């Protein structure tokens, strides 16, 4: 199984400035999934990569 954690660009919904910090919930969940060997984990952070 494969799991993708996605952080979409917020645009109009972003009311607190342009933050590029990692999502801690995604990091913790990915670590757990990897440690149990449940799935291959990937992450795509559209804000950090300036993607639309």
Half-sphere exposure of 11 (CA within 13 A, CB side): 5
Range of the domain at 23: 2-45
The 3 state secondary structure assigned to 8-45 is: CCCHHHCCCCCCCCCCHHHHHHHHHHHHHCCCEEEEEE
Q: What is the pTM of this model?
A: 0.68
Q: According to the model, what pLDDT value does residue 31 have?
A: 92
Between 3 and 11, residue with greater pLDDT: 3
Q: How many domains does the chain have?
A: 1
Cβ neighbour number for residue 6 with a 10 Å cutoff: 11
Whether residue 51 lies inside any domain: the answer is no
| Residue 20: alpha-carbon gap to chain centroid | 11
Q: What percent of the chain has pLDDT over 70?
A: 81
Whether residue 37 lies inside any domain: the answer is yes
**What confidence tens digit (pLDDT) does each residue in 10-31 have?**
766 666 666 667 778 888 999 9
């Amino acid at each position: 199984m494969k799991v993708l954690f996605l952080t979409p660009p917020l645009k109009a919904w972003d009311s607190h400035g342009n933050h590029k910090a990692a999502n801690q919930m995604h990091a913790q969940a990915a670590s757990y999934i990897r440690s149990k060997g449940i799935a291959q984990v990937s992450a795509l952070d559209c804000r950090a990569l300036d993607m639309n």
